[in-house]
Amino acid sequence: MFYTIGFTLLIAFAIYAFIITRNKKVEKFPSNWHTLLVSKVRFYKKLSSSEQQRFQKRIMLFLSEVHIESVGFRVDDIDKILIASSAVIPVFNFTEWHYKHLSTVLIYPEHFNEDLSFAKKDKDRNIAGMVGNGQFKNQMLLSRKALHNGFKNKSRIHNTGIHEFIHLIDKQDGVIDGIPERLLNEPYIIPWLKTIHKKMEDINDNKSDIRNYGGTNEAEFLAVASEYFFEKPEIMKKKHPDLYQMLKSCFQAKD
């Protein structure tokens, strides 16, 4: 989900965060984080020892480039780990990747609404995450509850962190449109569009196990399908082999 956020206070905060983050050094990976990663991030747990070390370096690089701030609570290690993992997982097989459209991740304790309210009495709190546009094009907002739920063992495939970072990857070419031109070579764009439109039609006709939100538009389909790809690759490979192969090529993934 992506919206334009228009609050002066957040503008000031974003500028401040960008300045302090730009000069931040890459810190050493904390030894106790390995255990947290193994217990919380299935993608990391499946990696070889050498690949885990590479993953560790990538999350520390991400944390050196992007500032993480919270609203109403103190950010702890697991918050940082899950946000950084959400960022690294989709681009892990790329030699180098920087989220040029992101300077700050702002975490709210619960789901929030378009006015950024997360009060329990507000019945419109239905946003788990968003990527800002316009004045806030370098911001991401996440619900802490949704972030943590995305990494729990569950039958329902929904990872808010990965979902929002897929939107940022999609945005690398300047627009969030479901066509990740940084990942797809031009000859594959038309086949990609044909595939996703057929899959979206199946979703909207209740003939697919892909989450319903993927039928909203091309951008949301890419994000939802990518959640599926990284959370349950074996099932996607069996049920959606064509889509699986396309995403495998996009993310340069291995079986």
- pLDDT tens, per residue, the chain with 255 residues: 544 444 444 444 544 444 444 446 888 999 999 999 999 999 999 999 999 999 999 999 999 999 999 988 899 999 999 999 999 999 999 988 999 889 999 998 888 777 665 655 556 677 888 887 666 678 899 999 999 999 996 767 899 999 999 999 999 888 899 998 888 877 888 999 999 999 999 999 999 999 999 999 999 999 999 999 999 999 999 999 999 999 999 999 887
Residues 6+ apart with CB under 8 A from 2: 130, 131, 132, 133, 167, 176, 219
Q: Are strands 67-70 and 139-143 parallel, antiparallel or unpaired?
A: unpaired
Predicted pLDDT of residue 154: 72
Whole-number Å distance between alpha carbons of 147 and 129: 9
Whole-number Å distance between alpha carbons of 166 and 150: 14
Kind plus residue range of the DSSP H or E element containing 14: helix 8-22
Report long-range pairs for 124-127 (Cβ below 8 Å, ≥24 apart). Answer: 127/1, 127/3
CA torsion, points 156, 175, 64, 165, in degrees to nearest 10? 0
pTM for the complete prediction?
Answer: 0.85
* Region of residue 216 (phi > 0: left; psi between -120 and 50: alpha; otherwise: beta): alpha
What are the boundaries of each domain within the chain? 2-175, 177-255
2-175: what fold? Answer: Cyclin A; domain 1 (1.10.472)
Predicted pLDDT of residue 3: 44
Predicted pLDDT of residue 86: 98
Task: Answer for the pair 48, 55: CB distance below 8 angstroms, yes or no.
Answer: no
